[in-house]
Structure 1
Amino acid sequence: MSLESVPPKYAQLVQTLQRRIEAGHYPPGSLLPSENQLIQEFGVSRPTVVAALRVLREQGWIESQQGKGRFVRGRPALASVEQARPGHAYLTTPETGLPGELLEAGAVAVPNRVAALLDLPPKSKAFLRRRLVSRGDEPSEIVSLWLPLDLSEGTDLTSAQPLAQGARDHVQARKGVRFDHVVEQITARMPSTEEVKQLGMPKNTPVLDVYAAVRDPGGRPLAVLAVVLPADRHELEDAYPLS
C-alpha cells in the first residue's frame, strides 16, 4: 500500500505513528493508544483510525492481542526495503521523470485481457496512453495505461507532453476517483515484431508482461497498466515478511 504523494487522512496517521515509534515515543512492547484516544487526539473518524491501525499491523509495526489492545513491535526489518513493484512505480512516478516518447494516445479497441481486467465487453473501446521509456539513452520498456473512456475525458492524457504528475495523482485529481489497490500479474512471452523493433532487442529474447489492475475501495476497475520489459534487461525483486 502506497503512502506517497498527498496521502489521505489514514495514511497521514500511519506516518505520524511510524515516526513516533521510530523516535521511541512508543517503545517496543508498549501499549499503543486506544482507538478512542487516537480519535480524540487527531480529530479523525473511527474508520480512519481503524484503517491506519490495519496498515500498521499488516506492515509489522504493531500487533493485536485480543482483550488487551495493540502493542508496539518496533520498526519492521523490511520497512527499509524498497518495494520495487513495477505497477506502483509507473503509476506514481511523473512521466517527466521517465524519459521517452509517446507512441499512442487515444481511443482504441481493447485487447481481451485488458477488457476483462477493466470489466468491459469484448471488442469495446478504451483509452490508451502508450510510451516507450528510455534509460541510459536506450529504449528500456513499453508502458501502456488503459482507462475506460469516461475516466480519460477532461484529463491531459491525450497530450504529447510528458505528465508532470504520476498517472494516479493526475486521474484522481481530475476525476475525483481514488486508486485504492492494485492486483498485479506477471507473465512471460516472446515479443511481437513491433516490440522487437521499438525496444531494439533480439528476436529470440522473451519479454515480461506486467499487468497492474487498479481498483477503487469498492473493487471497481479504474485502470490497467501494462508494461513490457525485455527479460535480458530487467530483474524483478520483492520482499515480504514471513508470518
Structure 2
Amino acid sequence: MSNEEKVIGVLGGMGPEATASFYMKVIKETKVTKDQDHFRTIIDSNPKIPDRTQAILYDGPSPVSEMIKTANNLKLAGATVAVMPCITAHYFYEDIQKEVDIPLHHVLKGLNKYIDEECSGVQKIGVLSTTATKNTRLFETHLHNKEVVYPNDFEQEHKVMQAIYGKNGIKQGNTGQHPKALLMEVAERLIKEEGCELIIGGCTEVELVLNATDLSVPFIDPMRVAARDLTRSEKIG
C-alpha cells in the first residue's frame, strides 16, 4: 500500500489541543525518510460539537448530528478513513459510523488488540477518564479479559474531572503542574492501593499532562496506539 491510498481524516475539536496532539502522534508514528512519505491528513477541528459528557450525563445537546456532519466533511475532502481523538465520543460510535461511508477507526478496539499483544500479562488496569466514559463502561466493553478499575467517586469528581474541566484544568488551556498533580495522585493510589499494573489515559486531555515517565507502572495513551494503527496498517480502515 502506498501513502497515497490512505488519507487520514481527523474528526477533531473535542478538544482542539487534543486534536493537535493527535496529529503530532500521527507524524511521529509514521516511518519516513522524507516529507513525501507522510500520510495526507485532513483535520476538521470542530469545537462547536456539543460536549459529550454533558450530553451523556446531564441531558445536554446531542453531539451526534454535528459529528456526522464533520465526518462527512472529511470524506468530501478526500479522507479514506476517519478517527475521533476523543474517547467519550466513542459512546456515539455506531450512530456516526452508520451515517458515514468511510471507515471510522475504533480507538478502544485498537487499544484492546494492542494490550493483548504488548501487555498480555497485565490483569488489572486503572483508567483516568471522564465520568461519562466511566459511567457508560466503554473500557469494560472493549478491553476483554481485563479488570478495569476507576478512581472512587470523590477522586473522580474532585480530582480527575477537576483536572480536565476545572477552572485551572486542561480544557481551560492549563497543561501545567496543577492538573498533572491531581492526576498523578489518583493514578498512584490506583497503583499502590488497588494493585493496578497499568494506567490508561482514558480521556484525550489526560495525555496532554501525563506521560510514561510520570508513574511507577506503564502508562498507555490510546491515541498514540491509534496513530500507530493508522500509520502501520495495510488496510484502509
Range class of TM-score, shorter chain: under 0.3
- Structure ID, larger Rg: 1
Structure with greater strand percent: 1
Structure with greater helix percent: 2
| TM-score for the superposition, normalised by structure 2 | 0.26
Q: Which has the higher contact order (CA 8 A, sep 6+)?
A: 2
